[in-house]
Each structure stands twice: as structure tokens, then as C-alpha cells.
Amino acid sequence: MFPNLQSLSEEDEYKDSPAPSGRRRSSVVPPSLQFLVDQDSQQASNEPAEWEKSWDQTTENPELCDFLDRVSSRDPTDPDRQVASQVAVAAVAAYCIYKAFNSRQQQQSLKDAVPKSSAAPLTPEQINIIKATVPVLQEYGTKITTAFYKNMLTAHPELNAVFNTANQVNGHQARALAGALFAYASHIDDLGALGPAVELICNKHASLCIQADEYKIVGKYLLEAMKEVLGDACTDEILDAWGAAYWALADIMINREAALYKQSHGWTNWRQFRVAKKVPESDEITSFYLKPVDGKPLPPFRPGQYISVSVQVPELKYPQARQYSLSDTPRSDYYRISVKKETGLDPRAPGAKRHPGYVSNVLHEIIKEGDQIDVSHPYGDFFLPTAEATHPIVLLSAGVGITPMMSILNTITQKKQRKIHFIHGSRTTEARAFRSHVRKLENDIPDMQVTYFLSKPGGSDQLGVDYHHAGRIDLQKLDGPSHLYLDNPATEYYVCGPDTFMTQMEQALKVYGVSDDRIKMELFGTGGIPHN
């Protein structure tokens, strides 16, 4: 009945153009399908619903539009005209909604498994070789990755703008890559276990505007570093196997990043923003209100996601990029990030050299209101999927981990339809950001609780007023049913903060019987989310 419907691709891009002259376009879904649209509208974003995008794509199909025109232009006295029109529109709308739901289900599956690679599969012999090198990576992995970064950045200094120089100095980057190689080799015949890690890395790559050609550079210097460190023990067979394994994974990541770029509303590179306002939130965190220089509306993001910010670092003589969580609800006119000024690494930390955070100090000390910086499209796999849910939610954060929680909190409190417990830990009350804002929300939202843990209470801090518990966050000090909503099997837990904090909260929640799928975590630092 619809001549060209089957030719419509799942990959078609949404085209925001007016309908050609003479064609009819309906923005109204038949009542019989409204329940599907209601379900679809439960996504938390300001963008058009997925079914609307598919509808726009479908009604731009010439043969389909001609068919709908013929139906709608039938003799008004024909008793079958109304029925035929409703059937036609209903069928097309159903098809559009099916496309939208199917597309979303495919996107969600990326959380659970690594996408397939189009590269040639590894042979059984190559898989066995990769497995056999696992102990080697465990012993020499960091030496290999250290040599890799040194050689690659010497030959390609332009890549210094992509990689975190501070993490090169303290060795975090090399250790993180070594851990990733070890995990990949250990799961070479079960890549589904790496799905969440691949999704996390691909989102970060997209936020840094990584391009497919850069994978060739990385592959070259990684294999050369293996040969340099391992010497004659790294045979041609081992290099061939690792070359095949590298490109199998690289192909997966290139394809996933291409899909992320395709969803970025055409914004696939750095975009200039003006710092419209700087607002101190605590003695170490300042909010930056960023407006696009081109004045075009900003695309929506999901609360919890981040952007990359790139600035010139005077002492390095090249730019550096960092990821900062968006700390407010999605808006079309500005983005807000809230940045902690990093005064320096603890010199007692293994391998650490004391120096201030390059980008955070440039933002705090050099960048002024009115200055311009480069910003990426929002990305990230830690986010609130919908603002329409009604089950309880617990937000657990420590330190600057409060920033994505503010975006989530500001979004869900607009609805006032779910129980919320905001739990935050800080060293001092002066270091705690958004104090007055959280207090106002607590007063305005009947079902919202706030609990503050304070590591170092000051002489003027009052228990029960400025904080509720001394020390770091300890869930055992809270009541399970009334504070953590443990009696509700649908309660969700969002956790963000330093590595140790993340691990402790995850373990504590699991002791209480909370399943993995209800614990959402965002790690601030190098590498991935800590899991045993």
C-alpha cells in the first residue's frame, strides 16, 4: 500500500526543512495511537520526539506523499474518504513510532554489549596469542604505554592538545591505557563484558572531536612500543595478532563515535562560546555561564552529561581540553559548568608531581567574563534518562561530584513527583557548593530530603543546621527505608565523586541488595568506572 516505505533507512537524518509546496503534513497523531506518543514523550529532552522526526522523514518521501495526497483529495462526498485518510495516517504514524522505538532500543543496547566490528575477525590462533600475552601485559603494560605516549607525542606534538598533560606527568594516563589493554586481552573472546567501558571511552573521544584517521597514528606507535619494550620476545606473530586485535577494537570505536557525531545536530568540532558570567559557588568552585558566539540555539542534553572545554595554557604553549559536567537544566541559550580550582596534586601520591590543574586554573585565574573558549557538543553515558519517572531517587556525591547532580536535581524538581534524597559530602562548609540553592529546593519540594556529611566541621558549624553527620559519607548512618528508600525495588541511585568514594558507595549499596542496573555512576578522573 505504501510503495516506497521499505526503502526508508533507519540511518536517515532528520531534515528540518519545510514541506514542499502542495504537500500535506500532519502534526497530529490519530487518537488510536496517542498512547504510544505519550510513552515516547517520556524522554527527558527538549528536542522533538523520535516519532516526530521519523514522521518528518517519512512524509518527505515523494511516493508516500503522493499517496496521502490522493487519499485526502478524494471526493468529500465519498463516505470512505475519512476512513481511508485515518487508516493511511495511522499506518504511517505507527511505522514512524516503530522506527523511533526500535532505534532507541538499538541505542540502549550499546550499554550492554560492544557493537560489532566490520574489520576481519581474529583467527583462533590470533585469539590464543592475545590470551597468552595477558601475563606480559600485567607485568610490562605500563612500560609499553609510557613508551607509546612518549614516542607518539614526540613525533606528533599536535596531539598534546588532545591528551591530558597532567596525566602524562603523573603517569595516570599510561596506567589507565595499560589497564584497558589488559582488560581487552583478558576479554578478547567475550567483548560484551567491555560494552560499558567502550561506551564511556567513545563518548569522551567524541567530546574531544577525535577523528578516525587518528586511530592510525595510535595503532602505529602502540605496536612499535610493544616491540621496543619486549624486544625479541615480541615476535612477528605477536605483532600481527595485536595489530588485528587493535583494529578490531578501533573499528568498533570508530563506528560508535561516527554514530555519536551523527546525533550531534551537525556540531562535530570545537565551537566558540563566550563566558557570559562567572559566579563563585564555594571557596573552590565557580560556575561559568557559556553562550555560543554564533547566537544559534543550543541542542538539548541529558542531565548528567558533560562538555569538553579547550583553552590555551600559557606555560605549555598549546591548548588543553578537560571535561566538565553541565550543572544546570538543559537550556537553548546557555550551558553552565561549575569548575573546581585544582591547587595541586598531593606530592605523597605514588608517582605524582605537585602542580596545579592546568585548565581549572586558567578558567579561574585568566579567563574573564566576555572571553571566548572552545566547547564541544555534550556527551556522556551518565545521565537521567527521563524526567517523567515517579519512583524514588537518591543522589550521592562527594566534592566536585556535586556538579552533574545539580543538573539532575534541577530537572527532577521541576516535576515535583518523586521522592528525592540529596546526600553530599564535603571537607568543609566553605567548600560546599550550591548551599543556598539546595536549601531553597528543600523548602519548596515536600518530598525532598537533604543530608550533609562534613569531614572537618569548623568551630562555627552547627550539627543539624550546617551538617548532619561528621566524617565522610557512611550509608550505615542512614535509615534504609526512610533515607535510602530500600523498601522500594525501583529506587535509583546516582553516584559521583572520587574513585575511592565511588567504590565504597557501590559496595555499600550492593550489601543492601541494590542491583547493578539501579546504580548509576560517574567517575571523575582518568580511566573508567571502578568495578571488581
Query: What's residue 112's pLDDT?
Result: 42
Q: How many CB atoms lie within 10 A of CB 317?
A: 8
- Whether the model clears a pTM of 0.85, i.e. scores above it, the answer is no
| Whether pLDDT at 372 is above 90 | yes
Query: What value does the CA radius of gyration of the chain take, rounded to a whole number of Å?
Result: 26
Q: Give the residue among 298, 201, 305 at the shortest CA–CA distance from 254.
A: 201
| Whether pLDDT at 118 is above 80 | no
Q: What is the pLDDT of residues 262-303, one digit of tens each?
A: 999 999 999 999 999 999 999 999 999 999 999 999 999 999
H or E, element range at 59? none
| Whether pLDDT at 508 is above 90 | yes
User: How does the average pLDDT of the chain come out, rounded?
Assistant: 82
| Whether pLDDT at 401 is above 90 | yes
499 CB contacts (<8 Å, ≥6 apart)? 523, 525, 530
Q: CB–CB of 290/308 below 8 Å?
A: no
- Determine the CATH number of domain 271-375: 2.40.30.10
Distance from C-alpha of 472 to C-alpha of 449, rounded to nearest angstrom = 18
1.10.3210.10, 2.70.210.12, 3.40.50.80, 3.40.1130.10: which CATH number matches 393-523? 3.40.50.80
Q: What is the pLDDT of residues 8-35, one digit of tens each?
A: 222 332 223 333 333 233 334 433 333 3
Split at pLDDT 50, 70, 90, the class of 233 is very high
Q: How many CB atoms lie within 10 A of CB 514?
A: 19
Average pLDDT score over residue span 152-178? 94
Split at pLDDT 50, 70, 90, the class of 86 is low
Retrieve residue 306's grid coordinates. Answer: 558533560
Split at pLDDT 50, 70, 90, the class of 115 is low
Q: CB–CB of 389/360 below 8 Å?
A: no
Lowest-pLDDT range of 53-57, 217-221, 484-488: 53-57
Q: Percent of the chain, pLDDT > 90?
A: 69
Pairing of strands 318-325, 306-313: antiparallel
| Whether pLDDT at 442 is above 80 | yes
Catalytic residues: 215, 257
Average pLDDT score over residue span 337-355? 68
Distance from C-alpha of 395 to C-alpha of 452, rounded to nearest angstrom = 12
Give me the amino acid identity at 247.
W
Query: What's residue 72's pLDDT?
Result: 45
Q: CB–CB of 245/180 below 8 Å?
A: no
| Whether pLDDT at 361 is above 70 | yes
Query: What's residue 355's pLDDT?
Result: 61
Split at pLDDT 50, 70, 90, the class of 119 is confident
Query: What's residue 248's pLDDT?
Result: 96
Query: What's residue 114's pLDDT?
Result: 52
Pairing of strands 306-313, 372-375: antiparallel
Distance from C-alpha of 389 to C-alpha of 412, rounded to nearest angstrom = 9
Query: What's residue 23's pLDDT?
Result: 29
Query: What's residue 418's pLDDT?
Result: 95
Distance from C-alpha of 92 to C-alpha of 24, rounded to nearest angstrom = 13
| Whether pLDDT at 71 is above 90 | no
Distance from C-alpha of 431 to C-alpha of 425, rounded to nearest angstrom = 10
Instruction: Check residues 185 and 70 and name the one with the higher pLDDT.
Output: 185
Retrieve residue 277's grid coordinates. Answer: 558570567
Distance from C-alpha of 177 to C-alpha of 244, rounded to nearest angstrom = 18
Average pLDDT score over residue span 394-398? 98
| Whether pLDDT at 409 is above 50 | yes
Query: What's residue 522's pLDDT?
Result: 81
Domain 124-262 has CATH 1.10.490.10: yes
Q: What is the pLDDT of residues 376-393, one digit of tens each?
A: 999 999 999 988 899 999
**CA distance readout (Å), 403 to 68, 355, 410, 505:** 49, 23, 11, 18
| Whether pLDDT at 488 is above 60 | yes
| Whether pLDDT at 102 is above 80 | no
3-state secondary structure 397-411: EEHHHHHHHHHHHHH
